[in-house]
A and B are shown apart, each in its own frame.
Chain A
Amino acid sequence: MTLEDLREIARTEREKQQEFPRKIHVCTAAACLSQRSDKVKAGIEARIKEKGLEKSCHVKGVGCMGLCAAGPLVSVEPEGKLYQGVRPPEEGSDTTDIVDSLESKNTAVERLKLDPTLPFFKEQVKVVLENSGNIDPERIEDYISADGYEALLAALTAMTPLEVIEQVTKSGLRGRGGAGYPTGLKWSTVAKARSQNNTKFVICNADEGDPGAFMDRSVLESDPQRVLEGMAIAAYAVGASHGYIYVRAEYPLAIKRLKTAIKQAENLGLLGNNICETRFSFRIDIRLGAGAFVCGEETALINSVEGKRGTPRPRPPYPAQEGLWGAPTLINNVETYANIAPIVRKGGAWYAGIGTEKSKGTKVFALAGRVQNTGLIEVPMGIKLRDIIFRLGGGIPDGRNFKAAQTGGPSGGCVPEQYLDMPVDYESLAKVGSIMGSGGLIVMDDTSCMPDVAKYFMDFCRTESCGKCAPCRVGTTHMHNLLEKITSGAAGEKELALLEELCTVVSQTSLCGLGQTAPNPVVSTLRYFRNEYMAHISDKQCPAGVCKTKPAAKTAEVGK
């Protein structure tokens, strides 16, 4: 495979696609599939056959189009028409109506129409998701026709590893897994690290576990080749020849598409030995996570890949020095790798032109909770939280009032109304006591009780704690019990004081990120919604009407 071969494949594919004046895209990512979009696709194909339109209309299963709340989604190109909530043939005439409307005016189809000029679609800036909803995730040719693997081959043939790292550094890209560590710096550390017999590893962290977050799943389901390409470029830059994708077993579709993608890339010689007739060889294996949130922590993930119990190791040594099987290891998140190909293709300076001074580029958010348009969005860093929720998200349903936005999952915090006009970037979110996190964004309205929300996340941390270190193992359990007491109206101020002390101890003394950040939801809700805690404690009432508080016969004593 050379650059010419690659462009030949792209040309053939484009020509093949241009034979069809019309294309119908049916979303086949998990959310729409769960609404049987596969049957929708079959229905549309059948109708097209009936109508004899096979020659002029191509039906393609594509990745996520973003607005998961309105799925299954179908789009008709080149007109750019969008249809929502399309039911399979056995549930109505949706599929036949869409096909029939291609030729003649069909007013019946109006009921399915979704306005593609909505802010939800118009105000996104797509880098990671540029191909999502456009290409067939199960065909590498489609990816190549969208400039896929151009970046890898350009890097291999025209750039030194150092130049690749330079572009990534220049782009200002920061780790999208949540912590926001500068990617270029991480790469150059691993590139500089020395190891026995020059073994180094590249790992893709696809163990997305935050409740309500589905960015990585969507990227893997919609555009798996992009992640492989990013990993291959990373491997070339740091000098690795073997990569692992650690993906959770709960994502069967993502795993299936990854497997297909790896096989197709290997068949074309884009993975394997002597890629593009250079000395660079790279293979990728998949490792499945067995459903432990803590395995998203990099050292626990490494243990898990090694076949050990998935518990974290103390850092330092960092994986960049001593990682998988003691070798220098580069670990990045799915979204980080998905940003690499465009950065190499268009240059680091182009990427640095998007976003804010310290947070460059775009960020994919999984918009969930009490918001009109739940789904997947990609926005430039620095966008106002208000714009995300009220413009793209379409506001709060049922005319209710916004209360808080939860970012960063169980490690994050809540952003209350007074900070809605804050720019969304790493620093600003940290300043108000939350974190960027991997991109989960849960909107809450006045029907949410904040102590109850904190309890939910603490319950999550408690059950996901690995049990290795004492503060996290015991502390999260105690904090959950105390929150349980508070929300049931059985707690006094003593319990609240103890809860606050435990927050400090657990965050300062826990071994890994899970424990260190587990108190965050409590700390942040206490910071902004202390009055709600006090209502549960002093008045034995839940202002939001969520908790079943019962006036305690006697407040249980803490300690003796």
Chain B
Amino acid sequence: MSPAAVEIKTLQIDGRDIGARADQTILEVARENGINIPTLCHLDGLTDVGACRLCLVEVKGSNKLLPACVTRVQEGMEVTAHSPQLEALRKMIVEMLFSERNHVCSVCVSNGHCELQQMAESLGITHVRVPYLNPKLQVDASNRRFVVDHNRCILCSRCVRVCDEIEGAHTWDHFGRGIDCRVITDLNQPWGESDSCTGCGKCVHVCPTGALVEKGRAAGEMRKRQQFLPYLTLMREGRQ
């Protein structure tokens, strides 16, 4: 693309005037400018799905809240990324995520390195107002190196996307609907028996919680390394 072809839009986020490329999303632009919009399903380098609904922002002229991760900037857009109303909605969504499965931080291998935990902290969540559902879900430790604990999964689908888009294996996918939805390997086989899994471990490192972890970690020991992702995406773009 020649430099002349880059189209620039100006917009306002939380009252700040900001310039952006026309192909950027509100989320990208906000983060470039140090405005933090919370996300859980978004990850730089993966396609966005708009599933966690935490990045919802108010856009003047739209009667619906729009997900910042998939909404492209427009000239003259007036975006509100932080308001008491938005904070309240975000809190309730995160509380619902906590109530959905089993997120007992103290015994979790990801304690202290968990994006869900950090999200709750940053939103100032002190307790969960909705009743815990406490389903009894499986832990699949059949893989030689990794474990999937469905009790910790928030269905952000990062593992599904990284496996499909970056690794190209498409080992992970969704199964079931609604509250019974969960991620599966291959055709719902144990992970250890998966034919398509290359064992690369990308899914483990993009997982925001303690749902996908390396074996042999004690509570609080599992640190995720996600730095590789933007690099891999860049390499791929460079080759095309």
Contact = CB atoms under 8 A, between A and B. Distances in A.
A314 B57 CA distance: 14
B130 A502 contact: yes
A376 B155 CA distance: 42
A232 to B, nearest CB: 34
A500 to B, nearest CB: 12
A476 interface: yes
Contacts of B71: 314, 316
B128 interface: yes
B53 interface: yes
Contact of B181 (A467, A471, A508): A467
B131 A474 contact: no
B56 interface: yes
A559 interface: yes
Contact of A473 (B128, B157, B173, B179): B179
A464 B176 CA distance: 10
B130 A466 contact: no
A374 interface: no
B154 A470 contact: yes
A463 interface: yes
B178 A509 contact: no
A309 interface: yes
A292 interface: yes
B50 A314 contact: yes
Contacts of B97: 470, 474
Interface residues of A, number: 37
A476 to B, nearest CB: 7
A201 to B, nearest CB: 22
B218 interface: no
B67 interface: yes
Interface in B56-114: 56, 64-65, 67, 70-71, 89, 92-93, 96-97, 99-100
A470 to B, nearest CB: 5
A470 B50 contact: no
A474 B174 CA distance: 16
A84 to B, nearest CB: 41
Contacts of A505: 89, 92-93, 96
Interface size class of B (residues with CB under 8 A): 35 or more
A558 B130 CA distance: 6
Contact of B96 (A309, A464, A465, A478): A478
Contacts of A448: none
A509 B177 contact: no
A559 B131 contact: yes
A509 B174 contact: no
Chain B: interface secondary structure?
loop
Nearest to A462: B178
Interface string A281-316: 000000000001010000000000000010101101
B67 A471 contact: no
A501 interface: yes
Nearest to B156: A470
A508 B179 CA distance: 19
B133 interface: yes
A468 B49 contact: yes
Given A501-B92, A510-B53, A477 B133 contact: yes
Interface in A477-499: 477-478, 481, 498
B131 A509 contact: no
A475 interface: yes
Most buried by A among B99, B100, B130: B130
Contact of B65 (A292, A508, A559): A508
Contacts of A309: 173-174
Contacts of A474: 96-97, 99-100, 130, 133, 179
- Residue of B53, B67, B93, B178 ringed by the most chain A CB atoms within 10 A: B178
Interface string B32-53: 0000000000000000011111
- A-B residue pairs, 5 tightest by C-beta: A467-B181, A314-B50, A465-B178, A474-B96, A559-B129
Interface of A: 292, 294, 309, 311, 313-314, 316, 462-471, 473-478, 481, 498, 501-502, 505, 508-511, 516, 556, 558-560
Given A465-B179, A470-B53, A476-B179, 18 more contacts: A313-B49, A313-B50, A314-B71, A463-B178, A465-B177, A466-B178, A467-B180, A468-B49, A468-B155, A468-B157, A471-B93, A473-B100, A473-B179, A473-B181, A474-B99, A509-B89, A556-B131, A559-B130
6 contacts: A465-B178, A466-B178, A471-B93, A474-B96, A508-B56, A509-B53
